[in-house]
Structure 1
Amino acid sequence: MSLQLPSPRQPLSRHKNLWFERLMAIVALANLGLVMFDLTYVPLRNFWLLGKIKVPLLPTITLPLPPAPDICKPLGETPDKATLITACYDRVKGIEAYRDTQAYLETVNQLEQQIQQSGVQSAPVAQTLKNLQEQSASMISANWFTTANKSGTLEKIKDRIRDRLYVENATVAARIVSTDPAKSIPFQEAVQKKAKRSSQKAFALFWSPEYLAQAGVQKELPWFDANIRDLMQTNYYRSIEENGEFTNQFWLLDAPFVILFVIEFLARTWYISRQYKSVSWRDAIFWRWYDVLLFFPFGLLFYPWVWLRIIPVSIRLHQAHLVDLDRLKEQATQGFVGSIAEELTEVVVVQVLNQVQQAIRQGEIVRWLLQPKQDQVTVNNVDEIAELVSLFVKLTVYQVLPKVQPDIEALLRHNIEVVLNQAPAYQALKTVPGLNEVPNQVIDRLITEVLQATYSTLTTALEDPIGAQLTNRLVQNVGQTLSNEVQQQNVTDELKSLVNDFIEELKLNYVKRSAEIDVQTLLEETRQLQQSAKKR
């Protein structure tokens, strides 16, 4: 969408105001960055929370994220782990620590403290391990990760605990269950067949005093922190508003930008309306239509479409000469033109020819040329056909005839000689000695006098007022006579038929030639011409 504007009263001082254009472009880019961060925050929350980027075949990259300050305390129970970003931005999204998983991790912290104080075989440790077994069974059966749509995370936890007990530490686990025949045989089958491995039984065995004692507390608890704790920490609860949607306070962060862009939009459009002739404030608003996307309240309405702000941001960066989008615009335009050029051109040409054919069949063109109506609209009250004939006659007399005079003389000489050669007297005269050159001299003088007399007569008739009137009357009579003759039914029908067939052949041949043309070749030729024109 664009608005064609007239020439301005005075050119805009773009160089003087370039700093303002760049400043607003940078502000718009910052707002777009905030928008993209908000759109991707929930899907990428695990990264912001854990500060890790895990890429296959590459080592894990850990980012040193600072701890959260007091002003950004998370909602709900204090989580076991929170970074500056998640502690602050979780409030915007209404995200709280999930109480069950948080209680689970706090129980693990309590277990670590009890083991340090009284050892693995103490009664407090046994009670805490029993609580962890119950909580593990509840986590798997109730699926604590459903609310956050993280059921896949629970599956990862289950797979890791099964691999730990049935694969990595299968020997240690086998020694423990061997004392209980009711558990030994099922465990051996689970080691052999992956389908029989139970994650609940694996957690129950993992949180047992015997297993921790034999496998080593100093080895198993760090493994839990590195492989299970981080996954459980990513679980969360997100509040829901009265409209049934998840809480999203992004509009509070977006409001200052919206207010700034509204003020800037009104000032800019008013300035444009003052700089250009015949451009009202409303026209200027339509001119800068894309800026509306910057202050449209997407935070409250149609939030998923907030990414559309990339359109005005891209345009502003281009106008501020911070990025160059000319190449992209050319490629997009040429691609669009290339996709519709052939079909559009064929439709337009064929439609025009069809309209001409219809006008010929109905006799409108013949009536318009030969029978002009009295109330027909004219531009300058001049008979254009008569003026064209008159101009053609003057051009022929004054410009064409003098330049083709040698050709006319040669043609006349040839015709006269052909006629005289057939006359016996002329042949006899050529045989008389001394007189054989006389016929040629007579012919030359005759041709010269005829041409000069004809040319003089034509120029005199055009320059003489009376001769001009007679010439105009001759042209009018010729036109009227031709019109009367053409209006005869047989002549009109024949003309219509011939012209209609000619146009039909023209359409068929045009469509055939158009189908044979490679549009990409035309686009490439156009690009080469544009590049050549820029170099010049």
Structure 2
Amino acid sequence: MPKFKPYFDRRYRVRERLIAILALLNLGLVFFDFTYLWVRDFYLLNIPSLTQFYDPIKGIKPHPATENYLQQVEVLSAQIITNGLQSPQVESLLAQQRLLSQKLIDENPFAGANKSSKLETIKQEIRVQTGEIFASDAFTRFWSQPYLTQRGWQQEIAFWNTQIRPLIQSNYYRGVNRIGTNFSYFWLLDLPFVLIFTWDFLARILTIHHRYPELTWLEVILRRWYDLLLLLPFWRWLRIIPVSARLYHVGLLNIEPVRVEVQRDLVVSFAVEMTEMIGILIIDQMQASIQRGDFIDWLFHPKPPKQPPQEYVQVNDKNEVTAIASHLFDIGVRDVLPQVQPEIEDLVQHSIATTLNQLPGYRRFQHLPGLRRLQLSRKLAKSLFKITYKNLIYALKDPVGAEITTRLRTNLKDALERELQKKDNIQEIQSLLIDMLEDIKLNYIKSIAEVQGDQLLEKAEQLHKRIR
């Protein structure tokens, strides 16, 4: 299928390619921002500098409860190193740490960031490490002098730093503005891109309006409707539509297979539905015309039935019904009769023989010597056919015969019309015609649904390939 290229992409190739690349970078930034909270734990473990830079943009701050908990563990580790595990200062800090652990379990500061699963993982790790069944008992035992002395405080603190600290550090707090949504300063990063896209959009619509002054401003804007998605401060993921279109127009993205398949489905479905609707409408109109009796009137008097004020449109001045009847009569006499001559002769012979057999005394004459061989009836049938056929051919050429033939056709048409006008005949013919059209309609829809749309589209594609 042919590829459409807008005016700007043909006239300003370098500029359009640069803006398309810029739009792609902006789209990547939008999707990075969109997925940042989901992938933040990975960034925190592997690229901590990235989280330090981007957390303020998302309005992310360390949660006070979990941040205080981690700081207390640091203070406790420093006191153990300085004063020893059995010192009163360490015992006081361990008691405080047990109290903070209980508050951590009860208040669940992870819920605000939708990280309650992290707390469950922490409790599970502590239970496994201490061998306790309940999380509160596990934390109480873990932050006790006997347990740390028995297991070795260096080993347990190392376990804490490698297994538990990263889980607690993943928790955060996000501020909420007056309208109830979380703070985000992504618009500051997005603003330079939006300004460039706005300048490009205005330049485009001004150029289009200059080239086509007959268009209104609304019509000009609608010609580049998808560029408006680049300017929206919300639903930024929709920018994938204008970015894909721009990359496709400048030749940096090949979406031709997708476009062809989407267009194929739309064209096929639209063509099939439109063809079905047109066919059904035509057949329904024919059925309605037959039910009203318009068809019989039109057949013999070609004018708009029951609508005398309107003028009936004709291609020429001929009466098509009369012309068709004359043509059929000529074909029947000149071409059809010679082909069925043997059957007509047999029929005439049979009629003559039947008539002679009904005459008084004819059977006795049949037994006379030599009379049977005469075959009078067959010779008579052949003679009658030849005479009649020659007369018909001559009548078609002879002016008097032609006049008689014309009068015969007219009288035949009038007689047929009178018979068709009878109520019983009209009802029977109308019923048969309506049923026939209904059968045609059903088979018509069935055939279109099976093959028509795909075949037409394949023919169109073959023609485009031949043109290229």
Distance of aligned partners of 1:449 and 1:335 in 2 relative to their CA distance in 1, 3 Å threshold:
closer
Deviations along 1:193-252, whole A, 9 cap, x unmatched? xxxx12222222222333333322332222111111111111111111111222233333
CA distance in 1, matches of 2:441, 2:68: 81
- Given residue 155 of structure 2, which amino acid in structure 1 is its aligned partner? K
Please state whether the residue corresponding to 1:125 is helix, strand or coil. helix
| Cα deviation, residue 457, structure 1 | 6.3
- What is the 5 A alignment of 1:22-171? 22-51=17-46, 65=47, 83-166=48-131
Is residue 426 of structure 2 the alignment partner of residue 498 of structure 1? no
Q: Which has the higher helix share?
A: 2
TM-score by length of 1: 0.64
Q: Residue 194 of structure 1 corresponds to which residue in structure 2?
A: none
Of 242, 249, 254, the match for 1:324? 254
Identity %: 35
Matched residue, 1:59: none
Cα deviation for residue 456 of structure 1 reads 6.3
Deviation at 1:477, TM superposition (A): 9.8
Q: Please give the secondary structure, in 1, of the residue aligned with 2:38.
A: coil
- 1:258-314 CA distances to partner (integer Å, 9 max, x unpaired)? 33333323332343344459544432322332222221231xxxxxx4322222222
1:106 CA displacement: 1.6
Comparing 33-42 and 356-365, the one that deviates more? 356-365
- Aligned pairs for 1:418-437 (under 5 A) are none
Letter of the structure 2 residue corresponding to residue 161 of structure 1: I
Contact 1:32 1:310 in 2 (8 A): yes
SS in 2 for 1:235: coil
Structure 2 residue corresponding to 1:199, chosen from 135, 149, 156: 135
Contact 1:159 1:199 in 2 (8 A): yes
Query: Residues 151 and 15 from structure 1, CA distance in 2 versus in 1: closer, same or farther, beyond 3 angstroms?
Result: same
Whole-angstrom CA distance in 2 between matches of 1:483 and 1:418:
29
Deviation at 1:101, TM superposition (A): 1.3
How far apart, CA to CA, are the structure 2 residues paired with 1:154 and 1:396? 95
Question: Does the 8 A contact of 2:268 with 2:454 survive in 1?
Answer: no
Q: 1:488 to 1:268 in 2, by over 3 A?
A: farther
For 1:40-439, list aligned pairs within 5 A.
40-51=35-46, 65=47, 83-166=48-131, 190=132, 197-275=133-211, 279-298=215-234, 305-334=235-264, 349-350=279-280, 352-366=282-296, 370=301, 371-372=303-304, 373-376=307-310, 382=314, 384=316, 386=318, 388=320
Q: Call closer, same or farther: CA 1:509–1:274 in 2, change over 3 Å.
A: same
Aligned to 1:184: none
**What amino acid maps onto 2:68 in structure 1?**
A
Q: 1:506, 1:406 → 2: CA distance? A: 31
Where do 5+ consecutive residues of structure 1 fail to align?
1-7, 52-64, 66-82, 167-189, 191-196, 299-304, 423-430, 432-439, 462-466
SS at match of 2:254: coil
For structure 2, list consecutive stretches of 5 or more residues without a partner in the other structure: 353-373, 375-381
For 2:440, the aligned partner's letter is: L
Change (3 A) 1:94 1:365: farther
For 1:18, the aligned partner's letter is R
1:77-112 per-residue CA deviation (whole Å, 9 max, x = no partner) reads xxxxxx333223222322211112112212222233
TM-score, normalized by length of structure 2?
0.72
- Following superposition, the deviation at residue 19 of structure 1 comes to 3.2
- Give the 3 Å change call, closer, same or farther, for CA 200–449 of structure 1 in structure 2: closer
The number of residue pairs the alignment matches comes to: 434
